[in-house]
C-alpha cells in the first residue's frame, strides 16, 4: 500500500477574493471541511495555513473578524493525529524574491504565530507557490524544519541535465503544467488531446519517493513531491470540468494505485476550492465530494492514510536520492515572471525595495515597537496575492498601502 494524504492550503489573502468575503470563506469552506474531518477520524490530511490567516482566525486583525471555532477545530484535529500542519510564510510571500533577512523574519513571524495560536512548532514546510532556491534548505534547517514540499516538475532540471535554461543547445521543453494551461484556451479537441497526454504522464509516474534536497551551506532537507499533473487531474474531476468527474478520478486511482511507491499526494492546493470556489473554478466543489474522495482512499486496498512526519519515522531516509534543486516555482514556466514581469508588479516590487532600503538605513534610529511595525508592513507588502495569479485591485493596493504605511513611519523618524 502506498502512503497517501491530501494537502489543503488555507490563505485568507487569496488574490481573487475581496476581504469582505472572509466570513463567507470560513462559513462555506473552512468550517464545513474541518467539521467533516472531525466526524471522520479515519481521514488524515496536511493543512497549510499562512501565518496571516492564523492571525485573522485568532482575532489579531479585528477588522476581519475572529473565528475561535476554526482554531479550536484545528487544534482538536492536531491532537487526534488527523491533521499535520506545515510551516509556511506568514504573509505568503515569494521567498526567492525577498532578501534572506526578510525570509528569516517572515518564517520567524510565522513560527511565533503558530505557537501562539495553535501551540505547535511544525516539522515540515510548504513554500508559498512552491517557490524555492538553494538557500532555503539552510534557512529551514536553522529554524528547525526537517522536511519540505517541492514541485515535482523542478526535479527534472537536475535529473534531465537541464540546469542552465539559457543553453540553446539543450532547450528545456515546456512543462506539463504549461501545456495544461495552453490547452485550457483550446477547443474541445485540443483539450481532449491534452487530457490523454496528461493521463499517460500520470500512469507513467510511479516512483514518488521523497528526495534529499541538497542546498547551499552543506544544508539538506527531505523534500516531498507535489505533482502538478495530479493536482490538475484531481481538481478537474472533483470540479467536474468538461467531461471530467469523480468516476474518472477513482478509475485512475484504481489503475495506478498498485504501481505507486513512495509518498503520494493526489491533491495539494487551495482549501477554498471546497465549499467556496477558487481562481480556476466558477462554482465551488461541494464538501461532500472531498469527503467521498477521502472515503475512497480509506477504503482502497492500495492507498493508506499517512502524514509526512509519520512516513519519515518509519522510512529509512538513506534510501532517498540526493538532489540539487534549482531556483523556481510551480508557475507554468517554473520561474517568477508571474509575480515580477507585469509592469504594475515591477513598480510595486521596486517601491517595496525602495522602502526596504530606507528601513535598512534608519532601523537603528527606530524604537523596537516601530521596527516591529515597519517589518510587519514590509512583509505584508511582499505578499504574493497582490501580484498573481489574477489579483483583484484590492489586493494589489493592499500591498502598495502596506509599503506606504511603513514609509510613513520611516519618514516620521
Residues in the chain: 413
**β-bridge mates for residue 225, sequence order:** 150
Predicted confidence (pLDDT) per residue in 280-317, tens digit: 888 999 999 999 999 999 999 999 999 999 999 999 99
List 149's β-bridge partners, or say none: 224
pLDDT of residue 290: 98
Contacts made by residues 115-123, CB under 8 angstroms, sequence distance 24+: 116/58, 117/54, 117/55, 117/57, 117/58, 117/71, 118/54, 118/71, 118/74, 118/75, 118/78, 118/85, 119/75, 120/78, 120/85, 122/84, 122/85, 122/86, 122/87, 123/84, 123/147, 123/308, 123/309
Asked if residue 310 lies in contact with residue 4, where contact means CB atoms within 8 angstroms, the answer is: no
Q: Is the peptide bond before 379 cis (omega within 30 degrees of 0)?
A: no
What integer pLDDT is reported at residue 413 of this predicted model? 66
Half-sphere exposure of 71 (CA within 13 A, CB side): 20
Predicted local confidence at residue 281, as pLDDT: 86
Q: What is the Cβ-side half-sphere exposure of residue 335, based on CA atoms within 13 angstroms?
A: 10
Say what the pTM is. Answer: 0.96
Q: Using H for helix, E for strand and C for coil, what is the string for 114-137?
A: HHHHHCCCCCEECCHHHCECCCHH
Percent composition of the chain: helix, strand, coil (DSSP 3-state, to 5)? 55, 15, 30
Pairwise CA distance, residues 295 & 42, whole Å: 9
The CA distances from residue 284 to 8, 80, 168, 247, 394, in Å, are 15, 28, 43, 18, 22
The Cα 403–Cα 280 span in angstroms is 29
At what angle are helices 343-362 and 393-412 packed, to 10 degrees? 20
Q: Looking at residue 403, what is its pLDDT?
A: 98
Nearest to 172 by CA among 189, 158, 182: 158
Residue 95 near residue 350 (C-beta atoms within 8 A)? no
Residue 192: its pLDDT value, please?
85
174 vs 178: CA distance, rounded Å: 6
Backbone angles phi, psi at 391, to 5 degrees: -70, 145
Cell of 338: 508571474
Q: Say what the alpha-carbon torsion angle 312, 317, 323, 328 is, to the nearest 10 degrees.
A: 10
Residue 190 confidence (pLDDT): 84
Which DSSP helix (H) or strand (E) runs through 181?
A: helix 176-183
Dihedral Cα 232, 267, 33, 255, nearest 10 deg: 100
The three cell numbers locating residue 238? 472533483
Please report the sign of the dihedral spanned by the C-alpha atoms of residue 50, residue 54, residue 55, residue 57.
positive
> What's the DSSP call for residue 271?
G
Nearest residue to 183 via CA among 232, 217, 122, 251: 232
SS3 (DSSP) at 83: strand
Low-confidence ranges of the chain (pLDDT < 50): none
End-to-end CA distance of the chain: 62
Amino acid at each position: 500500500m502506498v502512503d497517501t494524504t491530501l494537502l489543503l492550503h488555507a490563505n485568507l489573502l487569496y488574490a481573487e477574493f475581496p476581504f469582505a468575503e472572509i466570513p463567507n470563506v470560513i462559513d462555506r469552506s473552512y468550517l464545513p471541511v474541518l467539521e467533516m474531518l472531525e466526524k471522520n477520524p479515519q481521514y488524515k490530511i496536511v493543512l497549510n495555513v499562512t501565518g496571516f490567516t492564523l492571525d485573522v482566525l485568532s482575532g489579531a486583525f479585528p477588522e476581519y473578524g475572529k473565528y475561535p471555532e476554526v482554531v479550536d477545530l484545528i487544534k482538536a484535529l492536531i491532537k487526534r493525529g488527523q491533521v499535520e500542519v506545515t510551516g509556511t510564510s506568514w504573509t505568503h510571500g515569494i521567498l526567492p524574491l525577498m532578501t534572506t533577512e526578510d525570509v528569516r523574519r517572515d518564517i520567524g513571524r510565522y513560527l511565533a504565530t503558530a505557537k501562539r495560536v495553535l501551540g505547535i512548532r511544525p516539522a515540515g514546510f510548504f513554500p508559498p507557490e512552491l517557490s524555492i532556491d538553494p538557500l532555503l534548505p539552510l534557512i529551514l534547517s536553522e529554524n528547525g524544519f526537517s522536511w519540505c514540499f517541492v514541485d515535482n516538475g523542478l526535479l527534472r532540471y537536475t535529473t534531465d541535465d537541464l540546469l542552465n535554461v539559457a543553453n540553446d543547445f539543450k532547450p528545456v521543453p515546456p512543462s506539463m503544467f504549461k501545456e495544461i494551461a495552453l490547452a485550457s484556451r483550446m477547443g474541445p479537441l485540443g483539450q481532449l488531446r491534452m487530457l490523454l497526454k496528461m493521463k499517460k504522464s500520470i500512469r507513467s509516474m510511479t516512483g514518488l519517493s521523497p528526495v534529499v534536497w541538497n542546498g547551499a551551506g552543506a544544508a539538506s532537507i527531505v523534500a516531498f513531491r507535489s505533482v502538478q499533473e495530479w493536482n490538475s487531474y484531481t481538481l478537474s474531476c472533483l470540479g467536474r470540468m468538461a467531461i471530467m468527474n469523480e468516476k474518472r478520478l477513482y478509475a485512475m486511482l484504481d489503475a495506478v494505485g498498485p504501481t505507486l511507491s513512495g509518498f503520494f499526494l493526489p491533491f495539494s492546493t487551495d482549501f477554498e476550492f471546497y465549499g467556496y470556489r477558487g481562481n480556476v473554478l466558477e462554482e465551488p466543489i461541494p464538501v461532500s465530494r472531498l469527503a467521498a474522495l477521502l472515503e475512497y482512499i480509506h477504503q482502497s486496498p492500495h492507498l493508506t492514510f499517512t502524514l509526512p512526519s509519520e512516513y519519515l519515522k518509519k522510512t529509512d531516509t538513506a534510501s532517498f536520492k540526493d538532489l540539487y534543486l534549482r531556483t523556481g516555482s510551480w508557475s507554468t514556466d517554473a520561474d517568477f515572471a508571474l509575480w515580477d514581469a507585469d509592469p504594475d508588479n515591477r513598480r510595486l516590487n521596486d517601491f517595496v525595495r525602495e522602502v526596504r532600503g530606507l528601513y535598512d538605513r534608519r532601523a537603528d534610529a527606530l524604537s523596537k515597537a516601530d521596527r516591529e511595525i515597519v517589518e510587519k508592513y514590509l512583509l505584508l507588502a511582499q505578499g504574493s496575492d497582490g501580484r498573481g495569479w489574477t489579483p483583484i485591485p484590492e489586493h494589489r493596493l493592499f500591498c502598495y498601502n502596506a509599503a506606504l504605511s511603513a514609509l510613513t513611519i520611516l519618514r516620521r523618524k
